[in-house]
Structure 1
Amino acid sequence: MGTRKRGLITAAVTVVCAVTVLAAPGTAFAAPSPSPSPSASPSSPPAPVSNKELEEVRAKLEKLYHSAAVATDAYNAAEEAVERQSAEIVSLAKKIVKGQERLAELKKRAGAAAAAQYRSGGLPDEAHLMLSDDPGAFLDGAGRVLQGQRATKGLLAEMTRTQQDLELYAKDASAQWQKLEAGRKAKAAAQKKIEKQIKAAEQLESQLEKEEKERLAELEKEAAYAAQTAWLDSGILKDIKGQASEQGRKAVEYASAQLGKPYEWGAEGPMTYDCSGLTSEAWASAGTGIPRTSQEQWKQLERIDIKDMRPGDLIIYNEDASHVALYIGDGAIIHAPRPGRTVTIAGAGSMRILGVVRPDA
């Protein structure tokens, strides 16, 4: 796929449900039927791939795109870490420069104090008192000397603290550089895995004839349809009555405006998105920053019982939290499915639900 602006994909390998799939229980709709396969004749080319074989292809594609989705989350997480570590290194560098400037100033002041002491001849106070023509003036001066000595001690103590701070900053910077290098390696490894999985999926699909690809698309729709129907038949939708918050409404509006835009792993808009790029940007537009990856969204955001779900909440999919979508109400979601697809509306139950999280809990 080539190098991306940011990189990682996400995987809901099941394709978009038909609009009728989003209907509440009790609404009549017909399941899509597979295209009839032409009958073979002795003089015909090899028989077309059977539905069973296409189903195996669909399962393989789902596995490949899921693996790419997991790698996408790893890539996005590594990129976030790299950005965070880079910022920390810049901050430490500024502290080091400021500390060095402070240390130079302290050394200059300490040098001036040492020079002043040298000019006084280094004699003890008793000698200065005996040699002084004005004992009163000497005693006044002696008080100032004591103040100067205390100031010098404070100066030396500050120099020591500044030097220790510089050593600590340097050590922290070294540790951050090591983390940065590890993050870059993790990012490169994730990108390599993403591209490998997507390439394998594309090669697998490229072996199919046009009619077979159409039948494969029908099988994907049927799988999504069956999952959504089972979810609706459970009666879950009658329990989901939550109303969107103001921020949730804004997030849904943002996601709705992205419908039809292409999926691109690691992308955060405005022209292309991956699944968590879409959800994170939708909520950013509503004024709430959330983690960049679907796995971190699952880990860090407050979890909500599915019956309490409301528009704007995020539904996390797959056992490894490798996919995320924005719930928009009436049993439907908006999500960026996978490579080769666009941001679309689908049935909330058309994929394996792990749980629900709420950004503005």
Structure 2
Amino acid sequence: MRFASARGGDAVRVGRAVVVGGGIGGLAAACGLVRAGWDVEVRERLEHAAGPGGISLWPNALRALDVLGLGDAVRHEGLVQAAGGIRDRRGRWIVRTDQARMIERHGDGVTVLPRARLLAILRERLPPGVVHTGAPVERPEEIDADLVVGADGIGSTVRRLVAPGARPGSTGTVAWRLVAHVDDPPTEGGETWADGCYAGIAPLRDGRVNLWAVVRDDEPAARDPAALRRRFADVHAPIPELLAAADPDSAHVTGLSWLPPLRTFRSGRTVLLGDAAHAMTPNLGQGGCLALEDAAVLARCSHDLDRYDRLRRPRTAALTRRSRLAGLVAGLSGPFPTAGRDGLGRLLPAALTLRALDGVLGWQPPCTVPPTAQ
């Protein structure tokens, strides 16, 4: 391995890196590694990896995108949510997020944009010829590279090189992701907790509304759009109206799983990021955000994978467990458990709720440490 000096004067390790997976984490990692001086190739098994619906980017994710030189481009494309939080089935706030205070405290609010547009922004920043679609990787151990990055999702083939015994666990729930077109879209986003199910909305800049709904995988609503609409028929507006207006072609239904925390994210030249490393339930809205953090940290620690592992594993493990617990709470069923859940949530002052997010949103990227020859 040879070393060279970057334009800014920092020493960087120059070599060949292969990123397996062309989703958000993989493309972001490729952007960061190119900036760090690597010769990068991305291999994506799908011909078109656009992804459904929209994505919510919290302040920590935008900070990670700043490291990659993409923060302002994403802010320009996205819509900052006017308000957010959690409501009960009647529409009363359980927990409300003050976006103005979040911006004051963390520099940004929650910014939503189409997932496909975020992927396009990442791809556009890469040199021509870096991304190869329709290129599945079945034997990652045979990749000829100085660095192999496993960004190939919860069903990662690369993960077996790092954690061969790791297996995702099912939550027993199914998530619907849809996009709705309505004449008068809501200006506020947020999630609604009902009885044994929950749903959420996030307005997009172009007037569409990103919509998700989670139900148990053993009920008709897990498979049938009409049953899904009936399941949420008695929930406050505009959720029933948005479900009725949702574009059927936008529907994307997946079983929700999670990956119990791994003991390491690296082995030799191989490193994991995103869902391949720490697949989590969507209840904190941090899956894509943490993948972007991973990419930013890897860009600054590609010469020291042990440091990357030390920086990423404790944080992602804690948030994976926290998100799983939040999903269990959101999916509570029965009149007494749900009433107790909603009542306890309302007892928390708004300022305390925002401070409780500091550990999530206050993340800062690490300083660049010059590499030393090994």
Kindly name which structure, 1 or 2, has the bigger radius of gyration based on alpha carbons.
1
Same fold at TM > 0.5: no
The structure carrying a bigger helix percent of its residues is: 1
TM-score tier, shorter chain, comes to under 0.3
The structure carrying a bigger strand percent of its residues is: 2
